[in-house]
Amino acid sequence: MLRATVLSEGCRMARVGSAAMSAAIFTLMATTALRADVTADQVWQAWSKQYTAYGYQVAVGDSARSGDTLTQRDVRLTHQAEGSDFSMTIPELHLRELGDGTVEVTVAEKISAEANSAVEGQTPLQMAIDITQANAVTIVSGTPDQLSYHVTAPEMVIDMDQTTAGGQTEVPVKVWMSLSGIDGTYQVTSSGGQHESSDVAVAGLKMTASGADPETNGTFNMDASLVNLKMRSDVTMPEDADLENLGAALAKGLRMDASGTYGATTFTVDASAEEGPTGLSGGAQSGSFSMTLAPEGMKYTATGEGATIEAKTAQVPVPLSATLDRADFELSFPLKGSDAPQPFTGRIGLDGLGLSDQVWKMVDAQGLLPHDPATLVVDLAGTARPTMDLFSPEAAQAQMPPVEVNSLEVKRLQLTLAGADLSGQGAVTFDNSQGTPMPLGAVDLKLAGANKLMDSLVKMGMMPQDQVMFARMMLGLYAIPAGDDLMTSKIEFKEGGKILANGQQIQ
């Protein structure tokens, strides 16, 4: 297999300055028309203020005014964080007053940037970035304290070339990305901090990546594409807030909301190593995501529809493929220290996971198992009390998790696979007064088709008979028959740490 260092180091560098670069690009390329006059100088001053709010240092090589146009040359934006730095150079930036109270902004066709990472204990990395675009136009309107942008760009191409610092090539990674059909709006209100909102559509996104590891002669190549990407965001940045100190920024009132949808996606990955070549390919019909980060808590959700994946390896002579009708994920959790419990949620769902006939022939040549699609759902909710702000320095240094779980509800538990079906639900509360959480409550479980599945596994030679006997003995202890190959179990948590299964104490 290709060494994990190739991908992990590549991912690390891809993150270097990513937030900073994103802010810079979308500000440059970022409208609804607020009917008020704004000048080119006011737009530039507002931008400089906005960059500074995000931790940038702004330097201009030359500034010139000619008639209705302000030209800034050799604009350099730099951003430093612990263990990394990012810089972007814009050869020319033109701000032209259109005479109707709006300003047209165009930038040089090619913009260069550089990111460096020097984290202690890890290989120093350097990434050179080239951003190329043509005919991109931004119209700015409004007032200096309430600017609105409308951007249109036929295509933007980003080239990233990573090497180790000093020109070495121990973990070279190259990434190429093209965004086409960009059309979006971006509004910034400056009053007691900054409030920003955006609504951007990208008709198509294409990406390629490649890397190599000279120590193992392993290489990888990846191609990916996506269409109909739509993203919205809403950010409130309090005055004097610093994103490098996220805990302090949240305490001051930082709030970030983002969401998006996308259409069909495809990807292919080809890797080579001493064990032989490996190939992955697949895609999905559509998907969505959302994220909220606020003083009171965080929430992240993601969904995907109609996913497919196919794998080819040197060890297996035929392609292996699978399909997934739908996948969804949700996680929400309180962040602010509180005296009262706050709600949290957690869910993962995989519906309609089907394997190809080639896969089933490998694991079930005799056709003893049902080949119906599998399902996995874990849906949880509850309450928890952070004993301190979870992004605070105190929380980072805490010896024990600074959170008390007060209650947990199993809204739905289901695993359906090869003819067997395990389901359950229940709820428990936790007594934290003794230091060690003591659960009180019950969970009801139901298991269907287990005996038939175990018999089939024995016939297939995948499960020894003595293991089946032990599994059935355990089921007899903790479950009761409720029908043809159907068993139920009620797990109760009592005072004093007692645990009962169907009324029988097991702890």
Q: What is the DSSP string of 319-355?
A: -EEEEEEEEEEEEEEE-S--SS-EEEEEEEEEEEEEE
Cα distances from 454 to residues 128, 155, 386, 439, in angstroms, run 56, 57, 44, 33
Angle at CA of residue 263, ends 257 and 267, nearest 5°: 105
Q: Which of 202, 157, 198 is nearest to 177 (CA)?
A: 157
**What is the predicted pLDDT for the residue at 125?**
82
Three-class DSSP category at 50:
helix
Contact indicator for 104, 137 with CB cutoff of 8 Å? yes
**What is the predicted pLDDT for the residue at 26?**
47
Please provide the size of the chain in residues.
507
Tell me, yes or no, whether 464 and 346 share the same domain. no
Tell me, yes or no, whether 252 and 143 share the same domain. no
Q: Considering the domain boundaries, does residue 430 fall inside one? A: no
Q: Alpha-carbon distance 131 to 500, whole Å? A: 64
Tell me, yes or no, whether 59 and 178 share the same domain. yes
Q: How far is CA 121 from the centre of its chain?
A: 26
Return the structure tokens found at 360: 């089933």
Contact indicator for 445, 421 with CB cutoff of 8 Å? no
Tell me, yes or no, whether 178 and 197 share the same domain. no
Tell me, yes or no, whether 413 and 443 share the same domain. no
Q: Considering the domain boundaries, does residue 287 fall inside one? A: yes
> What amino acid is encoded at 207 in this protein?
M
Q: Considering the domain boundaries, does residue 424 fall inside one? A: no
**What is the predicted pLDDT for the residue at 267?**
96
**What is the predicted pLDDT for the residue at 162?**
85
Token pair 């007064």 is at which residue? 433
Cα distances from 246 to residues 110, 191, 251, in angstroms, run 33, 21, 9
SS3 content of the chain, % helix, strand, coil (to 5): 15, 60, 25
Tell me, yes or no, whether 76 and 222 share the same domain. no
Per-residue pLDDT of the chain (507 residues; tens, 9 = 90+): 333 333 344 444 443 444 444 444 444 544 333 345 899 999 999 888 888 877 899 999 999 999 999 999 999 999 988 778 999 999 999 999 999 999 999 999 999 999 988 877 777 888 899 999 989 999 999 998 899 999 999 999 999 998 776 555 556 789 999 999 999 999 989 877 889 999 999 999 999 999 887 666 778 999 999 999 999 999 998 988 877 788 888 989 999 999 999 999 999 999 888 777 889 999 999 999 999 999 999 999 999 999 999 999 888 878 889 999 999 999 999 999 999 999 999 999 999 999 999 889 888 888 999 999 999 999 999 999 999 999 888 888 888 889 999 999 999 999 999 999 999 999 999 998 887 889 999 999 999 999 999 999 999 988 899 999 999 888 888 899 998 999 999 999 998 889 999 988 887
Contact indicator for 446, 478 with CB cutoff of 8 Å? no
Return the structure tokens found at 182: 């960009």
Q: Considering the domain boundaries, does residue 427 fall inside one? A: no
Q: Considering the domain boundaries, does residue 106 fall inside one? A: yes
Tell me, yes or no, whether 369 and 454 share the same domain. no
**What is the predicted pLDDT for the residue at 275?**
77
Q: Alpha-carbon distance 447 to 415, whole Å? A: 10
Contact indicator for 118, 105 with CB cutoff of 8 Å? no
Q: Considering the domain boundaries, does residue 399 fall inside one? A: yes
Three-class DSSP category at 440:
strand
Structural domains in the chain (count):
3
Return the structure tokens found at 229: 């990407």
Q: Considering the domain boundaries, does residue 114 fall inside one? A: yes
Q: Alpha-carbon distance 353 to 307, whole Å? A: 9
Token pair 């001053």 is at which residue? 45
Count Cβ atoms within 10 A of the Cβ of residue 501 and give its class: 0-12 exposed, 13-18 middle, 19 or more buried. middle
**What is the predicted pLDDT for the residue at 36?**
54
**What is the predicted pLDDT for the residue at 15?**
39
Q: Which of 181, 180, 161, 179 is nearest to 171 (CA)?
A: 161
Tell me, yes or no, whether 151 and 236 share the same domain. no
Tell me, yes or no, whether 241 and 384 share the same domain. yes
Cα distances from 124 to residues 2, 165, 278, 314, in angstroms, run 21, 5, 29, 34
DSSP-assigned states of every residue in 251-278:
HHT-EEEEEEEE--EEEEEEEEETTEEE
Tell me, yes or no, whether 244 and 374 share the same domain. yes
Tell me, yes or no, whether 398 and 463 share the same domain. no
Return the structure tokens found at 263: 């259409």
Count Cβ atoms within 10 A of the Cβ of residue 481 and give its class: 0-12 exposed, 13-18 middle, 19 or more buried. exposed
Return the structure tokens found at 205: 């996104």
Angle at CA of residue 218, ends 214 and 221, nearest 5°: 115
Per-position b or e across 89-123, b if 16+ CB within 10 A of its CB: bbeebbbbbeeebbbbbbbbeebbbbbbbeeeeee
Return the structure tokens found at 367: 């056709």
Tell me, yes or no, whether 223 and 138 share the same domain. no
Q: Name the packing angle between helices 465-478 and 450-459 (round to 10°).
A: 170
The whole domain housing 492 covers 439-506
* Residues whose CB falls within 8 Å of the CB of residue 371, separated by 6 or more in sequence, listed in order: 355, 360, 364
